[in-house]
Structure 1
Amino acid sequence: MKNTEPKYINRITVDPEICHGKPCIRGMRWPVEVLLDMMLSEMSIEEILEDHPELEKEDILASLEYAKMLVSGRTITLAA
């Protein structure tokens, strides 16, 4: 069975002073929902990284991992 332990979740942070406390990437003003929206609009990981060099591939994977954990019902504790 594949390891299901979170690998990237530590890249997701919540700070009430940043983006109204929404889950963001590494304390930056990049809400997880914005990255998910870009992927939903069919942008590839490569396109996102090319357009936004401050992001890293692991940030996008962290967004997907966060979304997966939410729909699975797992308890998520995020860093501030």
Structure 2
Amino acid sequence: MATRININPDICNGRPIIANTRIPVQTIMEFLGAGDSIEEVLEEYPTLKREDIYACIQFAAKLMANHYEVRKIA
């Protein structure tokens, strides 16, 4: 996965992207979250491989594994 997802402050404002593209991980996750299948995402982005989509899912899952402190505001 590490080689399929890149973070570079000079590309897409440092947002995580699929390597060798300017396609943000967030974009792929939004398609999947909206109910699109992996096959539909691949049709929309024919340069991507199935492994790229899996890498996005793994990346998002690792982000969610972080512990977040919940604070009441106001």
Matched, 1:17 2:10: yes
Q: CA RMSD in A?
A: 1.5
Matched, 1:55 2:48: yes
Greater relative CO (CA pairs within 8 A, separation 6+): 1
Q: Deviations over 1:30-63 (max 9, x none)?
A: 1100000000111100011112111111111001
| 1:11/1:59 contact within 8 Å kept | yes
Structure 2 spans left out of the alignment, 5+ residues: 68-74
Give the match for residue 39 of structure 1.
32
Q: Secondary structure at the match of 2:22?
A: coil
Structure 1 spans left out of the alignment, 5+ residues: 1-7, 75-80
TM-score by length of 2: 0.82
Runs of 4+ in 1 over 3 A off after TM superposition: none
Q: 2-side partners of 1:28 and 1:52: how far apart?
A: 11
TM-score by length of 1: 0.76
Work out the number of aligned pairs and report it: 67
